[in-house]
Amino acid sequence: MSLVLVSHSRTLVEGLRDMVAQVAGDDVRVTIAGGTEDGRLGTSAPRIAEAVRAAIGGPDDRADGVLVLLDLGSAALSLELALEELDPADRAIVTVSNAPLVEGAVMAGVQASVGASLAEVARAAAEATSIPKLPEA
């Protein structure tokens, strides 16, 4: 299982990748696509496509599933364009999560680290939507 983190900000996904690595360990491959090609805030379909391909891997280290998590607004449009560039066989193992980026990535990372399937990892991320920020009073 691999994760792809997509954001308007490169530093945001770099930090989030560190957080995921801390809870999930080194066995879960995490790739990132943050910012535009010229380093501004924004999203770039080619950069996202590159990150997704890196997450899928090659013949020797091909992932059995890839979950993509994204931040706001146009990230979804750029991601859609990026996914259209993929071969159908690659596209078939990619799932896009509707989860909030930070919580979803951490939950998905932990679930992936215990050898869960793409569907299970996607479900863990989706459940992150309902995590309360504050403990119940």
Q: Which of 12, 33, 82, 124 binds other proteins (CB under 8 A)?
A: 124
Beta pairing class for 29-34 and 66-70: unpaired
Q: Which of 63, 59, 31 is nearest to 47 (CA)?
A: 31
Q: How far is the CB of 135 from other proteins (least distance, A)?
A: 4
Q: Return d(Cα 12, Cα 74) in angstroms, integer.
A: 16
Footprint of other proteins on 10-69 (CB under 8 A): 22-25
Q: Which of 82, 85, 66, 72 is nearest to 125 (CA)?
A: 66
135 binds other proteins (CB under 8 A): yes
4 binds other proteins (CB under 8 A): no
Of 50 and 103, the one with the shorter C-beta distance to other proteins is 103
Q: Which of 2, 8, 42, 104 is catalytic?
A: 8
Q: Return d(Cα 103, Cα 105) in angstroms, integer.
A: 6
Of 29 and 53, the one with the shorter C-beta distance to other proteins is 29
Q: Which of 2, 31, 78, 111 binds other proteins (CB under 8 A)?
A: 111
Number of H helices, E strands in the chain: 6, 4
Q: Which residues of the shown chain bind other proteins in the complex (CB under 8 A)?
A: 22-25, 106-107, 110-111, 113-115, 124, 127-128, 131-132, 135-136
